[in-house]
Structure 1
Amino acid sequence: MRTTTSKNRGTILTNTEQKLWNRNFVAVCFSSFFLFMTFYILAVTLPIYVMDTLQGGKQQIGLVTTVFIIAAVIFRPLAGKWLDDFDKKKIIIVSLVIFMLCSAAYTLVHSLSALLLLRFIHGIGFGMASTATGAVAVDLVPDERKGEGIGYFSLFMSLAMVIGPTVGLTVMDHFSSGVMFILCLVFALIACFLGVSLNIPKKSGMPKTPSAKGWKSLIEPGAVPIALAGSILAFSYGAITTFISVYAKDMGIGPMASYFFMVFAAMIVISRPFTGKMFDRKGPNVLVYPGILLFTAGMILLSLAHTSSVFLAAGAVIGLGFGALLPSFQTIAVQSSPGHRRGAATGTYFTLFDSGYGLGSYMLGILAARTNYHTMYFIAALVVACTAILYYSLHHRKTSKNSQGVTTA
């Protein structure tokens, strides 16, 4: 029997109920979780390893992060194209194997030059694997539950962002860097095993379309507008992950940095079930504008913080805003693109997001060095506010005109 739909009150009813939490969706969510766990553990512990073991300086610490991000940004659009053109299962397995092998190689590195080479190759594996898991997750989510499904998928990344640094720093405090590298290998192995176990369904009834040529084969044009807005958001977000621990230490409340991320994640976890369903029922605008307002207000509050209570309150407000914005933007990127280009759309979105993140970390760091962290976070708040203008100009106004044109017709 054919699936019947009803658009009363914006809901879609189907004769055949499509489950969100099936075995494959759970597997890809946890594969992504352990992938990002490894990423965040290394992000916070490698600076310590470079300084204490390899006797490197601040410039070398920056290079260890920079080469990784550069490799990821280069290979994200390539991975997006490969996902659309070839077998997704093979792409996800190859990328996770590269990531796993690189995770195993850290125990063999004993010089800075070797570490930089490894970080570049590891960045290739991460860029491919994170794009592949995201694209596969999008395919596994029923069309009428895209906002909810992508919201839950990104929740696993958010949890890794909080748990990873805590686990990494705890292991480094009580054990050696070798134990930390072995732990990363174990997590990478789990991510790879879960990726191999995936049963990715073939899309039936998908019209055969000619492959895009030139730059359009790597970048999905439909995803670019919202990806640009996402890059501005990521520009300021980079100041949180990169400098929050230094900022807390500068204020004399260093131990509160880990609690900041716990509060940040708690707000995302609490709000995610509601925000995803709201996106599917009422559209993105009802989440995006309040999300930008909350993110901006939280960053301003963070710039004014001098006590632990204000510092943690800022983390809660930022978590509510960011938790509404990140999955909403990613869902818009997918929905604004043709169905057969979801891999390219995912790669395009995260390519620009990562670029904004890396650029923001670098430029806001220069600003902090010339002024102070309070000023830096206030400027970052103003940048977040500009996201509203960009979102309205590049997406909201365009979709409003299209809907009016359909109504008139």
Structure 2
Amino acid sequence: MNQKPKLWTNDFLMVSLSNFLLFISFYMLMVTLAVYSIEKFDASQSMAGLASSIFVLGAVLVRPIAGKMIGRVDKKKLLLIGLSLFFVFMLLYFPINHLSVLLLVRFIHGFAFGIGTTATGTIAADIIPSSRRGEGMGYFATSTNLAMAVGPFIGLWIIQHFDHKVIFIVTTILSIIAIVATLFLKVTKLEVVSHPISVKSGFRLSDYFEKTTMPIAILVAIFGFVYSSILSFISSYAEVINLVTAASFFFVMYAAFLLISRPFTGKLFDLKGENKVIYPSLILFAVGLFILSQAQHGMSLLIAGAIIGVGFGTFQSSAQTVAINLAPSHRIGLATSTYFVFYDFGIGVGPFILGFVLPLTGFRGMYVLMAVISLVGVLIYYFVHGKKAAVVQKEQQRTNNLQTE
């Protein structure tokens, strides 16, 4: 009897923990920095929004470089560099006394986050057995999804009950724990590549982006843009519709139902292919957004959170697995960074663009529009990947049937 290769190794747990702590710090800072900027520096709404999102711009700019480097250097060492820089820049938040300095620190802090999360994603892909990649990347992505729920919840709770500097204290402690967890990682070094590539000098786009990832990454950017409408505006929307208490549990429902669904969706991906998972998840995301747009009671808001958690959370991890599966093994780091560059770009530009849309549509109209874009995304997925994936799946089934005859 063939035994399944082991997934839950010590290395897998440690890299997932480091990733979780990085992302929980990211989301805690993301949801609190705008308020902090207004209260501490009397910043305008636009400048407060920039203080929050300029971090993402820093991450976007450094990811292609990190993706290029990770194929050539010790992955654990790169992760430790990213985490150490993240810790150092956390310390710089404490003495800040001017908005322009905060913007600079946030921007460079994003570099450290981009390096760290590119490394964690690549290390996870290397550690997970290829036959269980859909399931394994699903569980790994749960560390991000959980942070997406826990980070805003803790961050908002802290600023309601304590001084803003407590946020910086907590995130500094989390970065120290992430460094300690990484020290216990055992990452096998890639033998210096037997792929005699890139002898050519000069700038080449392929050195910084993985071309096989581009189609699915474009879709990821679109859905990152859509998801940013929730991340940036759910609190304001909840105030307008008088559901602030329920909204504080929105991300908790998101995480809880994503966790419940994860064992099934990951295994379904590995057994039946990505289309069986991605099409339903995109439709669920659209349904959840529509329910959110029509929410009148706390229960409908929480139901929307649960459906969006299963829909968007499942799509996110599935798309990352697709990106990794399509890339050559020596370019998994570039595939990971390319995926996150596009996702971060969607998340980063979303609040800025939607800030112009919101006065025209209102919150409910904006979320209806996001639901429509999600349904259009189903069609885009068909053309950029789904059609080809269906052909590959049929070929695999035919091969399996011939082998069993």
1:227-252 CA deviation, whole Å, 9 max, x = no partner? 11111111111101111111011001
Residue of structure 1 in register with 2:402 after alignment:
none
Q: TM-score, normalised by structure 1?
A: 0.92
- Distance verdict in 2 for CA 1:46–1:205, change over 3 Å: closer
Of 233, 253, 275, which residue of structure 2 is paired with 1:285?
Answer: 275
- Distance verdict in 2 for CA 1:275–1:205, change over 3 Å: farther
Matches within 5 A, 1:169-188: 169-188=156-175
Residue of structure 1 in register with 2:245 after alignment:
255
Shift of 1:162: 1.3
1:203-250 CA deviation, whole Å, 9 max, x = no partner? 579743414860001000001111111111111111011111110110
Alpha carbons 1:272, 1:323 under 8 Å: kept: no
Give the letter for the 1:113 counterpart. Answer: S
Whole-Å separation in 2 of the counterparts to 1:393 and 1:356: 20
1:113 correspondence with 2:100: yes
Of 273, 291, 315, which residue of structure 2 is paired with 1:325?
Answer: 315
Alpha carbons 2:292, 2:300 under 8 Å: kept: yes
Shift of 1:201: 1.4
Whole-Å separation in 2 of the counterparts to 1:212 and 1:52: 53
Q: State the secondary structure of the residue aligned to 1:306.
A: coil
Residue of structure 2 in register with 1:193 after alignment:
180
Whole-Å separation in 1 of the counterparts to 2:181 and 2:233: 33
Of 197, 202, 205, which residue of structure 2 is paired with 1:215?
Answer: 205
Whole-Å separation in 2 of the counterparts to 1:149 and 1:224: 22
Whole-Å separation in 2 of the counterparts to 1:61 and 1:397: 43
Residue of structure 2 in register with 1:36 after alignment:
23
Whole-Å separation in 2 of the counterparts to 1:184 and 1:89: 21
Deviates more, 1:95-104 or 1:172-181: 172-181
Residue of structure 1 in register with 2:59 after alignment:
72
Q: State the secondary structure of the residue aligned to 1:371.
A: helix
Residue of structure 1 in register with 2:334 after alignment:
344
Whole-Å separation in 2 of the counterparts to 1:14 and 1:95: 39
- Distance verdict in 2 for CA 1:110–1:276, change over 3 Å: same
Residue of structure 2 in register with 1:394 after alignment:
384
Whole-Å separation in 1 of the counterparts to 2:241 and 2:17: 36
Whole-Å separation in 2 of the counterparts to 1:350 and 1:293: 22
Matches within 5 A, 1:134-213: 134-203=121-190, 207-211=194-198
Alpha carbons 1:267, 1:323 under 8 Å: kept: no
Shift of 1:403: 6.3
Whole-Å separation in 2 of the counterparts to 1:138 and 1:35: 18
1:373 correspondence with 2:363: yes
Alpha carbons 1:230, 1:353 under 8 Å: kept: yes
Deviates more, 1:212-221 or 1:271-280: 212-221
Of 206, 228, 248, which residue of structure 2 is paired with 1:238?
Answer: 228
The count of corresponding residues between Structure 1 and Structure 2 is 395
Alpha carbons 2:274, 2:389 under 8 Å: kept: no
Residue of structure 2 in register with 1:3 after alignment:
none
Q: TM-score, normalised by structure 2?
A: 0.93
Shift of 1:180: 2.0
Give the letter for the 1:162 counterpart. Answer: A
Shift of 1:359: 2.2
Shift of 1:105: 1.1
Shift of 1:404: 6.7
Give the letter for the 1:331 counterpart. Answer: T
Shift of 1:308: 1.4
Residue of structure 2 in register with 1:5 after alignment:
none
1:309-336 CA deviation, whole Å, 9 max, x = no partner? 2211111111111122111100000001
- Distance verdict in 2 for CA 1:250–1:68, change over 3 Å: same
Unaligned runs of 5+ in 1: 1-12
Give the letter for the 2:323 counterpart. Answer: A
Whole-Å separation in 2 of the counterparts to 1:205 and 1:168: 43
Alpha carbons 2:289, 2:370 under 8 Å: kept: yes
Residue of structure 1 in register with 2:35 after alignment:
48
Of 21, 28, 33, which residue of structure 1 is paired with 2:8?
Answer: 21
Q: State the secondary structure of the residue aligned to 1:108.
A: coil
Alpha carbons 1:271, 1:323 under 8 Å: kept: no
Q: State the secondary structure of the residue aligned to 1:354.
A: helix
Unaligned runs of 5+ in 2: 400-405
- Distance verdict in 2 for CA 1:320–1:400, change over 3 Å: closer
Shift of 1:91: 1.0
Shift of 1:197: 2.5
Identity across matched positions, percent: 39
Shift of 1:47: 1.5
